[in-house]
């Protein structure tokens, strides 16, 4: 199964198996719930305000790419 990844502004990269890019985007969005976003922000972006879910999801749509 193909792999897709996305990289946060902090350099943290997540990789996922998916049939295609659209499925990968959907899976990443499902994974990045408000609680997951808050945990990521606390761990990787300490002191910064928690991003809105819609903002994170928009970033996911732009960042997801196939792993070569």
pLDDT of residue 68: 82
3-state class (DSSP) for residue 50: coil
Query: Which residues does 24 contact at the CB level (< 8 Å), separation at least 6?
Result: 4, 16, 18, 64
Q: Identify whether the C-beta of residue 36 lies closer than 8 Å to the C-beta of residue 29.
A: no
pLDDT digits (tens, 9 = 90+) for 8-63: 989 999 999 999 999 999 999 999 999 999 999 999 999 999 999 999 999 999 99
Other C-beta atoms closer than 10 Å to the C-beta of 47 total 6
């Amino acid at each position: 199964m193909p792999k897709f990844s996305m990289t946060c502004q902090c350099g943290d990269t997540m990789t996922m198996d998916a049939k295609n890019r659209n499925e990968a985007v959907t899976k990443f969005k499902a994974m990045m719930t408000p609680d997951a976003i808050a945990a990521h922000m606390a761990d990787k972006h300490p002191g910064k305000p928690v991003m809105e879910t819609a903002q994170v999801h928009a970033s996911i749509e732009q960042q997801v790419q196939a792993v070569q």
